[in-house]
Amino acid sequence: MTIDWTNFTPWASLAGGLLIGVAAAMFLFLNGRIAGVSGILGGLLRPASGDIAWRLAFLLGLVAAPLAFALAAPLPEAQVDAGTLTLVAAGLLVGVGTRYGSGCTSGHGVCGLSRRSPRSVVATVAFMLAGFATVFVIRHI
């Protein structure tokens, strides 16, 4: 292992992480819910009355974020190396996996670990290990 010092952005990443934490705290104290993106999105596919508007509003906020960001600073580069076929396969796996696993990086990784949920610890370890293993297979085998 070598450290990629060129792309290492500890301060921006820490600041971004603090903002994500603030968002999780806002959602907890204002809406009384876990700010888990896969759950909020997936819940729209089984809509219950009174349950649709806040989900759409949260997602709309996410979509609007780069537009708001661009008002204050130039948007950082986003580089996607995956081709269409890989994107489709990855999307399907992420969609199915997060619903069976009841959460993703936000719900389990941020909120779940913050509330010391044993289920979220197990889920986070599992998806991190699978992520490390997948990149290892693709890049080094």
Partner 1 sequence: MQVLTAFLTGLVFGLGLILSGMANPAKVIGFLDLAGNWDPSLAFVMAGAIAIGSVAFWFARDRERTLLGDVFRMPTATRIDRRLVLGSLTFGVGWGLAGYCPGPAVASLAYGGSKPIVFVAAMLAGMAIYEVRNHWPSARRQTTA
Work out whether 46 is an interface residue with partner 1 (CB under 8 A): yes
* Binding test (CB under 8 A) with partner 1, winner from 48, 49, 74, 108: 108
Work out whether 113 is an interface residue with partner 1 (CB under 8 A): yes
Q: How far is CA 87 from CA 51, 99, 105, in A?
A: 30, 18, 18
The count of chain residues that interact with partner 1, using the rule CB under 8 A, is: 113
Q: What is the signed CA dihedral for 63, 81, 122, 25, rounded to 10 degrees?
A: -30
DSSP-assigned states of every residue in 24-59: HHHIIIII-S---HHHHHHGGGS--TTSSHHHHHHH
* Binding test (CB under 8 A) with partner 1, winner from 48, 49, 74, 126: 126
Q: How far is the CB of 124 from partner 1 (least distance, A)?
A: 8
- Cβ neighbors of 7 (< 8 A, separation 6 or more) are none
Work out whether 118 is an interface residue with partner 1 (CB under 8 A): yes
- Span 62-81, contacts to partner 1 by CB under 8 A: 62-70, 75-81
Work out whether 48 is an interface residue with partner 1 (CB under 8 A): no
* Binding test (CB under 8 A) with partner 1, winner from 48, 49, 74, 101: 101
In this structure, what DSSP letter does residue 75 have? P
